[in-house]
Structure 1
């Protein structure tokens, strides 16, 4: 059973670096969490480094701007690394190939970043002639479901195209409600037998970048045993931490809230439900906390 803690201060002395998730931990898509800002800021004030690590398909500079808009203070973190950053590198590796894009057409920051770093933007093509597929999310984030993409996925699979997923999350909490992410579409392509390349958590490249940034913030190498990962998703945050050998804290009021707290808005975490929950997942976070606070 994970240790139930009331605040980060109970365990902070054991760590030099925190890798904190963003959505569901420091904000909910509509407003920043003051308690999380305070907790991370206090950890930094004690000499620790904080890297925000997110499966957002946007480059980190855009994530940083979004944090500013939501009122999350820059004093609470040292740097941001995003799934979008990893995706940019993957797109540059495929420079010269054409892609079929699944995602909101107005979200162009990823492609602008590729153009700035590679000298030219990616080439787009229909499924029939594309060299691979890039999925950054849903075309209509608020109304579509993963099933809406099944016919397109069958056409993509018929051509055996690689499917690059810029956000491995299945769902994200937006102002108290859950909305689907690119990972939910990628999961359906995998079920067809398609080859999916994931850019973010729980896979190694995003953690490699985060540790590099943490080392730069601290001015030296990072000891993995002194790294703490914080997140609200067992499938990505806690699994990724386990694969990297990091301790982890599960924020229970995020996407798993209903399973761990029940329907009541301010219900406390149910210890028996948490124990069964981690057994069902086959993953054991080091600790669990209702919300990230000091």
Structure 2
């Protein structure tokens, strides 16, 4: 049964490392959440390691620069694992071919920055859909447009047998008070239409493998029992943690604030109903990371 807690410090001494989601937990897409930053500072002061595990399609250096601009200080985390880095490694190994059709905004073009860690990386070329061997999706061209606008292109791509590499499995995010579509919504549509979508972020194993490698690179060996995953995505952060057999802290005041009737803290009955509906069982829940 999920235990509702009032602060991370109630349980933090049980864990040597945190896998922390960013959007909805540490920032709201516009600025840092001060209580979350303070909680991470306190945790690190006690000797714990913080790995930011994000479904951002960007490289980790780009994410570090982005969140610093939002007011998330460098000293509240230790390292970053991004869906983008995990997916980029697969792309440069040719998982969707050499000639790819790119779906995303200009700000996501860093996805194509060469990766030195991939041996014998192929030379990726961006081409029109008619010339493509595969699709790379970092997000919609317009995050406010319904994913159904891609249906015609996806019918064509499916007929050609193209695979779609999804660099961000999130379905939606909230930028401040505005809800936006993510790459995961497009990949979901493509799969529903009979196409093949490949995922590398939460809740899928590759990003957790990357997070563990980044944690090991810090010089610590932390077993699953010593890791706590924190996030507001019930079908990404929490599902992924359960699949990896690690404990989780659900931030109910993020994407599911309405369903869980969260203001400062979730309504226990609403939270229970929501978790039953989603068929998920996080170890703990809290309104916001604090």
Using the size of structure 2 for normalisation, the TM-score is 0.95
Moved more, 93-102 or 50-59: 93-102
Q: How far did 1:128 drift?
A: 2.2
Q: 1:214 to 1:116 in 2, by over 3 A?
A: closer
**How far apart are residue 261 of structure 1 and its match?**
1.5
Give the whole-Å Cα distance in 1 for the aligned partners of 2:170 and 2:201: 9
5+ unaligned residues in a row in structure 1: which ranges?
Answer: none
| Superposed counterparts of 1:268-287, under 5 Å | 268-287=265-284
Please give the alpha-carbon distance, in whole angstroms, between the structure 2 residues aligned to 1:151 and 1:86: 29
Match of 2:256?
256
Q: Verify the 8 A CA contact 2:138 2:167 in the aligned structure 1.
A: yes
Shift of 1:121: 5.3
Asked if 2 retains the 8 angstrom alpha-carbon contact of 1:115 and 1:121, the reply is no
Match of 1:58 in 2: 58
Alignment length, in residue pairs?
288
- The alpha carbon displacement at 1:114 in A equals 4.4
SS, match of residue 183 in structure 1: helix
Q: 2:161 is matched with which residue?
A: 160
SS at match of 2:130: coil
- Inter-partner Cα distance in structure 2 for 1:146 and 1:255: 19
SS of corresponding position for 2:28: coil
Question: Which whole-Å CA distance do the structure 1 matches of 2:62 and 2:71 have between them?
Answer: 14
User: Runs (4+) of structure 1 moved beyond 6 Å?
Assistant: 115-120
Mapped contact 2:18–2:50 kept (Cα < 8 A): yes
How far, CA to CA, are the matches of 2:216 and 2:38 in structure 1?
23
**1:47 aligned partner:** 47
Aligned alpha-carbon RMSD (Å): 1.8
Partner of 2:199: 198
Superposition deviation, residue 80 in structure 1: 0.7
Instruction: Return 268-277 or 111-120, whichever deviates more.
Output: 111-120
2:33 aligned with 1:33, yes or no? yes
Matched, 1:132 2:134: yes
Note the residue ranges of structure 2 that are not aligned, 5 or more in a row.
none
Matched, 1:290 2:253: no
Is it true that 1:247 corresponds to 2:247 in the alignment? yes
Deviation at residue 176 of structure 1 after TM alignment: 2.1
Measured in 1, the distance between the counterparts of 2:203 and 2:210 equals 13
TM-score (norm 1): 0.93
The 5 Å alignment of 1:223-242 reads 223-242=223-242
